[in-house]
Amino acid sequence: MVAKLKWNEVTMTKNPETRLKLMGEFLSLVPKHKGTEKMCSQVKRQMSQIRDKIEKKRKQAKKIGGPSYYVQKAGAAQIAVVGPANAGRSSLLRAITNSQVEVTSWPFGTTMPTPGMLPYQDIQFQIVEIPPIVPGSSEGKAEGFLNLASARNADGLIIMVDLTDDPAGNLLMVLEELEISRVLTVEPSGEVEIQKRGHGRDIQFIWEGELQDCTTEEVTSLLNEYKIHSALVRIRGKVTLEVVEDSLFGNAVYRPTIVIANKADVVVDPGTIEQLKQAVGPRELMIISAEQTPNLPWIIGDKLFNKLSITRIYTKEPRKEPARIPIVAKGNVTVGQLAKMIHNDFYDRFKYARIWGPSAKFDNEKVGLDRELSDGTVIQIYT
């Protein structure tokens, strides 16, 4: 209870130096056992980030300007290629994109995120090679905060390992650094969004899922222990009490992930492959050779297209052919959502739409805002 009261002080403090001090006090009060290990790791990571920001502000006070570390998004989706040093990330980027990145034989050859474009059918994926993830990246080692933030900012991940260099061990290391940084590579069964309010004395729930092994009273009691007495709690999917508490220490993000094991052209012990498959778990595994696998751009483009649930919608003007370049959405999209993506005016002034292709019961079907659109649909919107 004392630790939870201390965390309430942390959340109420905006000054970074004071916040850092209070977080240290919070850690000294938290009971040390297996159930609090993950929470303590998250708090330690936040403390490291605050220290890093304080130090960067001091340096920026003396030096203003300079290039951004982050790559601006382009194409249908941005995919971050992460992994340990010398796993073949640069070789993959060079093999599947237009990038002329230098492939080095020494570790840490890549020092800044490096982009390239992968054409697939009538869209392009932006593939960004991220500098190596190392043990301690989640605590800021080797520009870890920046590298993991780049992974968090992407739409999807490729984790790359070398089949000749402890692939299972290196994969588990990268997964651990991502998890500590609140980047999930397996879709969670549920998530919680807590929006604190400055008025009222009640906890209200918005149900887009259900609680598992706990009740609303237990959730309310937990939040009250953290001095949260008025909040909107959005429940998505299947949520446990542990997920609720975990959400108080930073929102996790899910990024669809493919694991790529490089150097399939080298003879590898079958036991190594089996260990890697166990470490991969429910994630998708591809075993390739960046230098020798044929049709690699198409193979990876196809995997990404399906993994990210890309939906392509082609707009059309009266008496003209459909646009060659589609509007891209992730997953299901309705006519109304598409109209907003084009421009709010199309939504505000919407009368009806006509559609052709997979979503239509018949060509030139007249539909409203709530019609769901499938990949490959052609649409003409009337305002």
Kindly report whether the global pTM for this prediction surpasses the value 0.85.
no
Q: How far apart are CA 240 and CA 249, in angstroms?
A: 15
Contact 213, 240 (CB under 8 A): yes
Q: Check residue 20 and give its pLDDT.
A: 76
Residue 70: inside a domain: no
For residue 148, CA distances in Å to 131, 234, 285 come to 10, 27, 21
Q: Which domain holds residue 231?
A: 189-250
What is the C-alpha to C-alpha distance for residues 286 and 302, in angstroms, rounded to an integer? Answer: 12
Per-residue model confidence (pLDDT) at position 12: 67
- Out of 307, 328, 349, pick the residue that ends a domain: 307
Is the confidence at residue 134, as pLDDT, over 60?
Answer: yes
- Of 307, 328, 352, the last residue of a domain is 307
Check whether residue 319 and residue 278 sit in a common domain. Answer: no
Residue 55 has pLDDT above 90, yes or no: no
Same domain? For 297 and 175 the reply is yes
Decide which of 207, 225, 250 is a domain's last residue.
250
Judge if 109 and 194 occupy the same domain: no
- Summarised one tens digit per residue, pLDDT across range 190-205 is 888 888 887 767 888 8
Tell me what pLDDT residue 109 has.
60
Instruction: Please compute the mean of the pLDDT values over residues 372-376 and round it to a whole number.
Output: 91
The C-alpha angle with vertex 82 and arms to 77 and 85, in degrees rounded to 5, equals 155
Q: How far apart are CA 175 and CA 169, in angstroms?
A: 10
The yes-or-no verdict on residue 37 having pLDDT over 90 is no
pLDDT given at position 107:
61
DSSP per-residue codes, 271-339:
HHHHHHHHHHTTSEEEE--TTT-TTHHHHHHHHHHHHTTEEEEEE--TTSPPPSSPEEEES-EEHHHHH
Q: State the average pLDDT over residues 344-356.
A: 89
Q: 135 and 283: one domain? A: yes
**pLDDT value of position 373:** 92
Is the confidence at residue 99, as pLDDT, over 90?
no
Q: Which band of pLDDT confidence, cut at 50, 70 and 90, is reported for residue 120? A: very high
* Confidence class for position 112, pLDDT limits 50, 70, 90: confident
Question: What integer is the mean pLDDT of 342-357?
Answer: 89
Question: Is there a single domain that holds both residue 127 and residue 264?
Answer: yes
Residues 88 and 229 in one domain: no
The lowest-confidence range among 69-73, 83-87, 198-202, 210-214 is 198-202
Query: Which pLDDT tens digit goes with each residue over 165-198?
Result: 999 999 999 999 998 888 899 988 888 888 888 7
Mean pLDDT, range 316-323, rounded to an integer? 87
Taking all residues of the chain, what is their mean pLDDT, rounded to a whole number?
85
- Do 286 and 332 lie in one domain? The reply is no
**Domain assignment present for 339:** yes
Encoding tokens for residue 310? 């890309």
Across 11-25, 89-103, 257-271, 310-324, least confident range: 11-25
Mean pLDDT (whole number) for 102-118: 74
**pLDDT for the residue numbered 117:** 93
Question: pLDDT per residue over 135-165, tens digit each?
Answer: 988 888 888 888 888 998 999 999 999 999 9
Establish if 66 belongs to a structural domain. Answer: no
> Quick check: is 179 in a domain?
yes
Q: Does residue 223 belong to any structural domain of this protein?
A: yes
Do both 244 and 325 map to the same domain?
no
| 72 in a structural domain | no
pLDDT at 298: 96
Same structural domain, 194 and 260: no
Q: Count the domains in the chain.
A: 4
| CATH code for position 108 | 3.40.50.300
Residues 126 and 257 in one domain: yes
Q: What CATH number is given to the structural domain containing 320?
A: 3.10.20.30
65 located within any domain: no
Give the angle 287-75-193 at the CA atoms, nearest 5°. Answer: 85
Residues in contact with 314: Cβ distance below 8 Å, sequence separation at least 6, in sequence order = 322, 323, 326, 327, 376, 377, 378, 379
In the three-class reduction of DSSP (H, G, I as helix; E, B as strand; rest coil), residue 183 is classed as: strand
Q: pLDDT tens for residues 61-80?
A: 555 455 567 888 889 999 99
For position 185, what pLDDT does the model report?
A: 93
Residues 32 and 169 grouped into a single domain? no
- Report how far apart, in Å, the C-alpha atoms of 232 and of each of 168, 191, 194, 248, 251 are: 41, 14, 6, 13, 15
Look at residue 108 in the predicted model and tell me its pLDDT. 61
Q: Verify that 108 and 157 share a domain, yes or no.
A: yes
**Does 71 reside within a domain?**
no
What integer pLDDT is reported at residue 239 of this predicted model? 87
